[in-house]
Chain A
Amino acid sequence: MPSESFLIGFVTGVILASVPLLIAAVGETISERSGVLNVGVEGMMLAGAYGGFSAALAFGNPSIGIALGGVAGVVVSLVMVLFCVRLGLDQIVVGIAVTLSMQGTTSLLHGAQYGTSYPRLDAMPTVPIPLLSSLPVLGPSLFTQPVVVYLAVLLIPLTGWILQRTRFGLNIRVAGEKPEALEAAGVNVVDVRTWTVLTCGCLSGIAGAYMSIVAAGTFVPFMTNGMGFIAIVIAMLGSGKPWRVLLAALVFGVAVSGATSLQLLGVVVPLDLVLMMPFVAVMLFLVVLGRRSSLPVALGQPYVRGSR
């Protein structure tokens, strides 16, 4: 029977790994529902991680860091908006370009700014939930979190409500399924997709900032290490439904943190195995469940006004 301290460490690790995946995957879900496959999430997360960390360091306030991480993500997503949504160019090429240039840029900026000092941030202050936080194991691990984690969980019902119950959500879904119909109804498809891509950029940036400010306490080049791509898979497996996205994010959170937990138990796991486990899990899931994931019909297709 594993000890209580191990269980606390395990749950804490799962949350630390799941939250950024969850936030970014919700952003990707919104973008995908409107018909834009955002492969640039990885780059936007890195921009958020770097921008958020620098801001938190400069202002001495992690909350400002998280917020400005979101702003950094929005700034990067403007490239995606201009090239993919406004000019209707290939979403995959632009997504790859965004990811590559942000990987390089953040690494260079880090090298130039912190290359010799390697500054660290203090742990982000947590807010325990009354009563629940006094539970054994789950109290200290699950119900004592920074505010951003609670907000991330609230994002699930909020996104579900917007997508399913509001006029704007309906516009988003039609933009992804039948953009011509939306245009015929007098709604500007390009505007709808602009908002969804900016939202995705903001959420990706916040996800990255969470990784640097809360999870790691520092910025390391390439620190997102493919989590942006896993977020895309989570959005795919979630089939556009936020509750399923939460479930998938938790499953992959276990995959990301599971190997580390084994190390805590004293099982010797090579670092290379730890790093590749989540990707093995992704491939297994795709092989088993992939057939059932459904994507919007107009996903990946640029919309040019009046073309049809």
Chain B
Amino acid sequence: MRSTKHGLDAVLRARRPRLAAVFGHALWAVSSLLLAVVASGVLLFALGRSPLAFYTDLVAAGIGQSFGLVDSVIRMGPLLLIAAGLAVAFRAGLWNLGADGQFLLAAAIVAGVAPSVQRAIPGLASIAILFLVGVAVGGAWSVLPAFLKSSYGMNEVITSLMMNFIGLGVANLLVKGPFVGPLLVQTNDIPELLPGILESRVHVGVIVAIAAVLVLHLLMSRTAFGVGLDVLGSNPRAAVHLGVDVAKLTMIAFVTSGGLVGLAAAIEILGVWGYMRADWNPGYGLLVIPLVFLARLNILAIVPFAALFGVISVGGQFATRRAGLPNDFSLVLVGLMLLAMLSTQVVAKKVSTASRPRFALPKRSFAATGETDA
């Protein structure tokens, strides 16, 4: 727990990473990933599949061929934005577990209104408007959990998870109802999609995602807003003493988080699909949770891990299909990654006696919940 005695100076100093610490984090991340890969390999072996062939397929499909590499780069876009969105919330000590609901609803509404928006306003302006629609929908879908948390101190883990299921239902109702096109299970085609970069299939959405993440990094590391979020996340009581408006900051952090997830949905729909199919749920919101922790909630560190997860996501789809398994293998990998990270963290803590390791996972106190209840 950071001392509040020295105020903001101490907080700012603690936020600057040292080279040795960065190296230590990288070692921890790589060993955690390897542990998870080995553990899920055991499950593959138990199912009678060759883990070696599976992971070879994964790498080959993810980066081996040029189309796989392009797919992985494209996949990085939404993962980057969702991970950044979750990191903003997690740093404030808020569990936004509703990313899938925010993503699907934003995707459905962007896809649904895009044809009429583009008929009315052609060109780049329509794209900008649709991005804003995505941000607004994603943000709006996080307002209720944020409000219940900031006003009643209600556990946002549960409420944001509930909003996932509702978001999924509403998205499907919209796609099958008011937004349905001539093909009965999907929306009308969007006339104008995001242009590719230098004649390639990689669309400009990926650049938008990277730019958004860079801006967010500056916001988180150079402004009072970022410091406020970190203080709120590490010690809510200290935040009150520092004069942070906890309720307001909780709302802003949650809505920013949802907004970034909504932007990810807009980019995925306008860049890759051009329509939204009913019952489509890529489950990115769950996939990126270990990614965010591997990056230790650092916005910049999310970029390389998002690239890695893009490869895992694209390559994994191919490898599971080749192995004749359902795509849910990624859930096992994600769950085991979280457990592996926790295990290596315990080991690292036991090994390093000289320096006090910083915790990767937010140490949040549920006492804060209890306080507002009482």
Q: Is the interface of B mostly helix, strand, loop or mixed?
A: helix
Check if B179 is an interface residue, CB within 8 A of chain A. Answer: no
Which of B150-158, B203-211, B239-247, B267-275 sits within the interface? B150-158
Does chain B have a CB within 8 A of A20?
Answer: no
Do the beta carbons of A233 and B158 come within 8 Å of each other? yes
Q: Are B361 and A90 in contact (CB under 8 A)?
A: yes
Does A127 sit within 8 A of B, measured CB to CB?
no
Decide: A83 and B339 in contact? CB cutoff 8 A: yes
A170 at interface, CB cutoff 8 A: no
Interface flag for B307 (CB, 8 Å): no
Closest B residue to A101 by CB, please name it: B335
> Do A287 and B161 form a contact, CB below 8 Å, given A104-B329, A108-B329, A295-B369?
no
For A301, what are the chain B residues with a Cβ–Cβ distance below 8 Å? 365-367
Q: How near does chain B come to A232, taking the closest CB pair, in angstroms?
A: 6
**A153 at the A/B interface (Cβ < 8 Å)?**
no
- Spot the interface stretch: A61-69, A240-248, A270-278: A270-278
Inter-subunit contact A97/B148 (CB<8 Å): no
A92 contacts B by Cβ under 8 Å: yes
Instruction: Choose one: A39, A89, A101, A272; the contact of B173 (CB below 8 Å).
Output: A272
| Contact between chains at A112 and B325 (CB < 8 Å) | yes
Could you tell me the distance between the alpha carbons of A291 and B345 in the complex, rounded to whole angstroms?
A: 36
Is A103 among interface residues, defined by CB-CB distance under 8 A? yes
What residue in chain B is nearest A79 (Cβ atoms)? B339
CB-nearest residue of chain A to B97: A96
- Chain B interface extent, by class: 35 or more
| A294 interfacial by beta-carbon distance below 8 Å | yes
Given known A272-B172, A283-B159, contact A108–B339 (CB-CB < 8 A): no
| Binary B-proximity of A37-58 (CB < 8 A = 1, otherwise 0) | 1010000000000000000000
Q: For chain A, residues 266 to 308, give those with C-beta under 8 angstroms from any C-beta of chain B.
A: 270, 272-273, 275-276, 279-280, 282-283, 286-287, 290-291, 293-301
Contact yes or no, A112 B158, CB < 8 A: no
A275 pairs with B325, CB closer than 8 A: no
Assembled-state Cα–Cα distance A226/B169 (Å):
13
The CA-CA distance from A229 to B364 in the complex, in Å, is 21
B342 near A111: Cβ-Cβ < 8 Å: no
Please state if A111 and B325 are interface contacts (CB–CB under 8 Å).
Answer: yes
Q: How far is the CB of B265 from chain A (nearest CB, A)?
A: 18
- Cross-chain contact B325 with A108 (CB below 8 angstroms): yes
B165 in contact with A275 (CB, 8 Å): yes
Docked-complex contact B162 and A279, CB < 8 angstroms: yes
**Interface residue ranges of A67-118 to B (CB < 8 Å):** 79, 83, 87, 89-90, 92-94, 96-105, 107-109, 111-112
Residues of chain A contacted by B333 (CB below 8 angstroms): 104
8 Å CB contact of A90 from B43, B170, B330, B363: B363
Q: Which residues of B contact A172 (CB under 8 A)?
A: none
| Docked CA distance A59–B156 (Å) | 42
Q: Which residues of B contact A96 (CB under 8 A)?
A: 97, 289, 335, 338
Asked if A221 is at the interface (CB within 8 A of a chain B CB), the reply is yes
- Cβ of B33 < 8 Å from any Cβ of A? no
Q: Is A236 an interface residue (CB 8 A)?
A: yes
Residue of B nearest to A106 (CB): B328
- A226/B165 in contact, CB under 8 A: yes
How far, in Å, is A272 (CB) from chain B's closest CB?
4
Instruction: Decide yes or no: A283 and B325 within 8 Å by CB, A101-B335, A301-B367 being known contacts.
Output: no
Distance from B234 Cβ to chain A, minimum over Cβ atoms (Å): 14
Which residues on the A side are within 8 Å of B154 (C-beta)?
A: 286, 290, 293
B348 interface contact, C-beta 8 A: no
Closest to A292 in B: B373
- Verify A221–B176 contact, CB threshold 8 A: no
Q: Does B80 have its Cβ within 8 Å of any Cβ on chain A? A: no
Given the known inter-chain contacts A101-B335, A293-B373, A301-B366, please indicate yes or no for A236 contacting B173, CB distance below 8 A.
no
Interface residues of A (CB under 8 A from B): 37, 39, 79, 83, 87, 89-90, 92-94, 96-105, 107-109, 111-112, 221, 225-226, 229, 232-233, 236, 270, 272-273, 275-276, 279-280, 282-283, 286-287, 290-291, 293-301
B interface residues, Cβ below 8 angstroms from A: 43, 47-48, 95, 97, 144, 148, 152, 154-155, 157-159, 161-163, 165-166, 168-170, 172-173, 176-177, 286, 289, 293, 325-326, 328-336, 338-339, 342, 345-346, 361-367, 369-370, 373-374
Q: A79-B339, A97-B335, A275-B169 are in contact. List 12 more A-B contacts (CB 8 A).
A: A87-B342, A89-B342, A90-B361, A94-B342, A97-B339, A104-B331, A270-B173, A279-B162, A293-B154, A297-B370, A299-B370, A300-B365
